[in-house]
Structure 1
Amino acid sequence: MLDYEQLKLQNKPLSRTSECHCNINNFGHKLFDICKKKLNVYIANSRLGSDIGIGRTTCKNVSVIDYLLLSSELFSLVDEIEILDFVPLFCDVHNAIHIVFNSVLSHNEITHDTSQNSTLIKWNDNNRNEFVNTFHKSQDQLINIMNDLENIYTRDTCTQQDIDNVTREINELFQNTAKTTLSKPHYKSRKKPNSKPWYTNKCLSSRKKFHKARKRYNIHKNEVTRKQLLETSKSYKMVTNQVYKNYQFDFEQKLRNKSKKTRERVWENFK
């Protein structure tokens, strides 16, 4: 069976449609060459989701230069693809592409971490001998693990459940030994360092207004909510740009004033 026949079996159109009426340039020909001859992938635009049979433009409402490329096997895993309306906050000229993939895992196969805090036990080389001795003293657990491994080895078949059980027992043995012999667990801090000291409450307030407008537009897509979304996105961008410029200006002034007094203290700002 030829690869493109996989698309026919999935009732996916072989021919593409597009709102773009521009002439194909050299980059377009190179893209087709990569898809057909090298990677054996297909352009999903106009073949899936709400864009099927449309091929909506993705740049300045004129051309299509943003693509989703998929192999024939991956077409069945895409639940949704949509070319979103242009939002200047996200990009200067490009439309965002919304894609939803369908997971091949069932709900029962997905495990969730129910612990409130993720802990990290730090290795202490001074307790190395104590760790080894405590590990060797866990005779009951070691015997159970060895018996399970022996049973798997003597059987003709080995299931995924058998491997998971043995792996869990080994993991528990190491964790219990570490909790007993090593230093107390250190909780990972969830606080993120302030990488943007210039980001003020004014920026945060403008950002909240933008997200509220975006949520309203996602629920009720009409010209009014779209206009509000564009206005809040432009406002947020203007606010952040102005605040950042003011921060840069104040910082430069601070350096100039200090440099007049003493040059050595200037470098304190870069430590």
Structure 2
Amino acid sequence: MVRKLEDVKNAHTRDGKTICTLKNGIKAIIESPNDLFKLGIDEIDHHALGLNELKRCSEGEYSENDDSVNYDYTYVQINDQITCPSHCVLWFTIEDKLLFEKTLFGVVYIPPENSLYSNIDMFTEIEDIIVDTNLQVCLLGDFDAHTKNVNEYVDIDNHILNACNIANDDQNLINKLHILEECNVSPVRYSKDNGKIDHYGKRLLNLCKSTQLFFVNGRFGADKGVGQTTCNNSLIDYVIITPDLFRAIVDFDILSYDPILSDVHKPVCLKLCSNIRSDCVQCGVTGSSRSDCAQCADTTGRSDCVQCRLKSDNESHIKPKWFRDRAAVFQENLDVNKIDELLVRLGDIDPKNTNIVTINDIVENCNSIIKNAAECADMLIKTTSNVKKHGCKKYNHCKKYFNSECYTKRKAYRKAKKYHYRVRSVVNHNDLVRKSKEYKNILKKTIL
């Protein structure tokens, strides 16, 4: 779409952004629809770009082909009125009906320090917006700042505050470290980035100190005590939050590198818990069905009651799970007599004269020994999973540009990705990168 414009000489993608060179020599980065308008596009073709048009839906409206719940702009709102002069942050707010308090989110991209678009004032712009809005804050994205494991807060001694005759309530406003202790979050931040703290890193640390924000990286979830790198051997992608928001975090993790998402960056996963689960938003009634809500019982086609859609086909099965602290109990319950009998049978087998029945019987006996020991050690857990009925749904291409060739390449990419996660090796990694590039190229070919 960008290549077809008269003023554009060439275009390429990098880190998920389209960088195009105009015929007058000026470079332009396409990060939002507003950037497309600046290049002379009067109307955006959502189907050509593979985007779904935003539709205003009623509260808690269900999609017929999806199990998710779509909330309208009452809860999630893109703040066009909140903008940085450098356009380095996309701001949006989530109302307190979804989170426990109205929260300002900022998706950040800071260009590299020595690039043509770098500007140290970007951090000042972010700081000014945080101070002006006075909301609970969550910043996440690529800051291109090396901070190592240096503290981003000022630890004020309580003895000094007491000597200054500052009340306890005011001390809690000045020193936020007690919130981390209440949330069982360590004030010590870990990081595997051993690089030198750069100018951007110092400015980011000062921003956190002045606005009392804390890094989630290296402190929470699967990344607790790790501080995994996000770009090669560097940690430059962060999630930075107001300390009170730690109460709403369910999990945080740095996922494995996925070449389809970025050239070098790893995905950062942040999970938050919400006020809305299976409660009725309009009338505040909790129940397993719409009939439990008096106002919604006789309605059809309404979506006043936000419920978690449950699949009808639930299947329970036993799943083995190894517990290291129960290893001794597991070993004690291994039947030595049955193991000896199994070894005798294995010794009597003639590899050249055996059949499948004998082999299956021996495998069954071996599994029985392990299963009985695991059951005595409480290593068999009953789980319930939702099972979809296969074969009743025909595959439909949801986007016009997504043809059969795109579907084939995507299937090959997902297969390579799954195998790479199971067996980590250089060969599988190279195969994943190759399949992702093939998938990217076919998408570009069909879209542009």
User: Is the contact between residue 230 and residue 265 of structure 2 (CA under 8 Å) also seen in structure 1?
Assistant: yes
Unaligned runs of 5+ in 2: 1-171, 286-292, 303-395
Residue identity opposite 1:86 in structure 2: Y
- Structure 2 equivalent of residue 205 of structure 1: 408
User: Is the contact between residue 16 and residue 47 of structure 1 (CA under 8 Å) also seen in structure 2?
Assistant: yes
Runs (4+) off by over 6 Å:
165-168
Q: Deviations over 1:187-226 (max 9, x none)?
A: xxx98662x3xx54223201012223434556x4x315x8
Bigger Cα displacement from structure 2, 73-82 vs 62-71: 73-82
Residue identity opposite 1:53 in structure 2: G
Cα separation, partners in 2 of 1:246 and 1:94, compared to 1, 3 Å: closer
In 2, the alpha carbon distance for the partners of 1:234 and 1:99 equals 28
Q: 1:27 aligns with which of 173, 196, 200?
A: 200
1:214 equivalent in alignment to 2:417: yes
Cα separation, partners in 2 of 1:227 and 1:100, compared to 1, 3 Å: farther
- Structure 1 equivalent of residue 424 of structure 2: 223
1:98 equivalent in alignment to 2:301: no
Q: 1:45 aligns with which of 187, 197, 217?
A: 217
1:109 equivalent in alignment to 2:279: yes
User: Is the contact between residue 87 and residue 95 of structure 1 (CA under 8 Å) also seen in structure 2?
Assistant: yes
In 2, the alpha carbon distance for the partners of 1:243 and 1:6 equals 46
In 1, the alpha carbon distance for the partners of 2:410 and 2:265 equals 21
- Structure 1 equivalent of residue 241 of structure 2: 70
User: Percent identity over the alignment?
Assistant: 24
Q: 1:86 aligns with which of 257, 263, 266?
A: 257
In 1, the alpha carbon distance for the partners of 2:257 and 2:245 equals 27
In 2, the alpha carbon distance for the partners of 1:247 and 1:44 equals 37
1:15 equivalent in alignment to 2:188: yes
User: Is the contact between residue 88 and residue 234 of structure 1 (CA under 8 Å) also seen in structure 2?
Assistant: no
In 2, the alpha carbon distance for the partners of 1:242 and 1:207 equals 10
Residue identity opposite 1:65 in structure 2: I
Q: CA deviation at 1:101?
A: 1.7
Structure 2 residue matching 1:76: 3-state secondary structure: helix
Cα separation, partners in 2 of 1:109 and 1:214, compared to 1, 3 Å: farther
Residue identity opposite 1:3 in structure 2: K
Cα separation, partners in 2 of 1:23 and 1:191, compared to 1, 3 Å: same
Structure 1 residue matching 2:244: 3-state secondary structure: coil
1:241 equivalent in alignment to 2:432: no
Let me know the Cα RMSD of the aligned residues.
Answer: 3.7
Structure 1 residue matching 2:271: 3-state secondary structure: strand
In 2, the alpha carbon distance for the partners of 1:80 and 1:232 equals 27
- Structure 1 equivalent of residue 317 of structure 2: none
- Larger strand proportion of the pair: 2
Q: 1:36 aligns with which of 203, 209, 214?
A: 209
User: Could you state the TM-score of these two structures normalised by the residue count of structure 2?
Assistant: 0.33
Residue identity opposite 1:238 in structure 2: E
Q: Deviations over 1:150-186 (max 9, x none)?
A: xxxxxxxxx967xxx9997xxx8xx9xxxxxxxxxxx
Paired residues, number? 175
- Structure 2 equivalent of residue 5 of structure 1: 178
Cα separation, partners in 2 of 1:77 and 1:246, compared to 1, 3 Å: closer
Q: Deviations over 1:2-44 (max 9, x none)?
A: 2121002222111212111111111111211221213x21100
In 1, the alpha carbon distance for the partners of 2:222 and 2:439 equals 34
Structure 2 residue matching 1:89: 3-state secondary structure: coil
- Larger helix proportion of the pair: 1
Structure 1 segment 123-202 matched on structure 2, within 5 A: 194=400, 196=401, 199-202=402-405
User: Is the contact between residue 20 and residue 57 of structure 1 (CA under 8 Å) also seen in structure 2?
Assistant: yes
Residue identity opposite 1:37 in structure 2: S
Residue identity opposite 2:432 in structure 1: T
Cα separation, partners in 2 of 1:102 and 1:243, compared to 1, 3 Å: closer
Q: CA deviation at 1:90?
A: 1.3
Structure 1 residue matching 2:438: 3-state secondary structure: helix
User: Could you state the TM-score of these two structures normalised by the residue count of structure 1?
Assistant: 0.53
Larger radius of gyration: 1
Structure 2 residue matching 1:28: 3-state secondary structure: helix
Q: CA deviation at 1:89?
A: 1.9
Unaligned runs of 5+ in 1: 112-158, 176-189, 249-271
Cα separation, partners in 2 of 1:211 and 1:37, compared to 1, 3 Å: same
User: Is the contact between residue 416 and residue 431 of structure 2 (CA under 8 Å) also seen in structure 1?
Assistant: no
